[in-house]
């Protein structure tokens, strides 16, 4: 039976508290994960053979190992080596490292789609390779990779729910506590699901607007 008092006095305050922590996890992880993916993608395309192998190895590890395992390794295993993180730091670091690996795949594909003639033309005008990549190639590649990178940000919103595994009490964690204390699992997890649905919907619309705003003329469709 729907209990208004429970919803407004206990459930919503807890979920709103968890929402703030979720946003504190998602925003820096999305920004730094994208930046890391750009850097990693550039190294995998324009780096020397050793750098490319290292980049490919990094991507293989972080795409191949489940995120839950990465969280456990960073929070529980690294302290054995003298490297410790608080729950929030461990969760953000895990999300950044994992997101960067996925973003780099989209960026790498976008970089390879840029015609080599542009690089030669820039060098003919006196640009160094670093200047060419930074000022000419990356802006185009980032715009072309935006749809794929946008999907990764949507995934980040959803897999941020794993942060409770390292006792970082975000939206899912707060919901689990309320559900365990009250045994109102149906109401709690329906509400948690609604929160995630709203976040994903808003993010998807924002990313769609960005895709249209930064659409490359002649490449793809709006």
The tokens describing 10, both together, are: 């206990």
Cβ-based neighbour number of residue 112 at 10 Å = 12
Q: Say if residues 142 and 107 touch (Cβ distance below 8 Å).
A: yes
Which whole-number Å values give the CA distances from 58 to 9, 79, 82, 97, 151, in the listed order? 46, 21, 22, 9, 21
Kindly state whether residue 23 falls inside one of the protein's structural domains: yes
Number of domains in the chain: 1
- What pLDDT is recorded for position 139? 85
Percent pLDDT > 70 in the chain is 96
Structural contact between residues 143 and 216, judged by C-beta atoms closer than 8 angstroms = yes
Would residue 126 count as lying in a domain?
A: yes
Within-domain flag for 45: yes
Q: Which domain holds residue 81?
A: 19-170
For residue 83, being part of any structural domain is answered with yes
Q: At what angle do helices 185-213 and 138-159 cross, to 10 degrees?
A: 170
Q: What is the pLDDT of residues 92-137, one digit of tens each?
A: 999 999 999 999 999 999 888 887 788 888 888 888 888 888 888 8
Residue with tokens 């699901």: 193
204 located within any domain:
no
Burial class of residue 186 in the structure, from the number of CB atoms within 10 Å of its CB (0-12 exposed, 13-18 middle, 19+ buried): exposed
Of 58-62, 115-119, 152-156, 161-165, which range is least confident? Answer: 115-119
- Contacts of residue 97, defined as CB under 8 A and 6 or more positions apart, other chains included, come to 36, 62, 70
**The domain spanning residue 47 has which CATH number?**
1.10.3720.10
* 149 within a domain of the structure (yes/no): yes
Structural domain includes residue 110: yes
In this prediction, residue 221 carries a pLDDT of 47
Q: Render pLDDT for 36-85 as a digit per residue (tens, 0 to 9).
A: 999 999 999 998 999 999 999 999 999 999 999 999 999 999 999 999 99
Q: Indicate the SS3 state at residue 1.
A: coil
Domain contains 136 = yes
């Amino acid at each position: 039976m729907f209990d208004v008092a429970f919803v407004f006095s206990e459930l919503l305050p807890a979920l709103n508290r968890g929402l703030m922590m979720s946003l504190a996890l998602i925003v820096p992880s999305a920004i730094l994960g994208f930046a890391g993916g750009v850097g990693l993608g550039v190294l995998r395309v324009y780096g020397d053979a050793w750098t490319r192998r290292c980049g490919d190895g990094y991507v293989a590890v972080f795409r191949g190992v489940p995120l839950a395992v990465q969280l456990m390794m960073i929070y529980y295993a690294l302290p054995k080596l003298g490297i410790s993180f608080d729950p929030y730091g461990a969760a953000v670091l895990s999300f950044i490292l994992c997101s960067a690996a996925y973003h780099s795949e989209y960026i790498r594909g976008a970089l390879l789609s840029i015609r080599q003639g542009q690089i030669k033309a820039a060098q003919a005008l006196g640009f160094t390779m670093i200047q060419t990549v930074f000022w000419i190639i990356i802006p185009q590649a980032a715009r072309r990779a935006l749809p794929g990178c946008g999907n990764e940000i949507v995934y980040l919103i959803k897999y941020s729910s794993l942060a409770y595994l390292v006792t970082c009490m975000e939206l899912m964690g707060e919901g689990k506590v309320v559900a365990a204390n009250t045994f109102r699992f149906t109401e709690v997890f329906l509400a948690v699901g609604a929160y995630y649905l709203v976040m994903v919907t808003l993010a998807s619309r924002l990313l769609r607007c960005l895709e249209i705003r930064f659409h490359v003329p002649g490449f793809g469709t709006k």
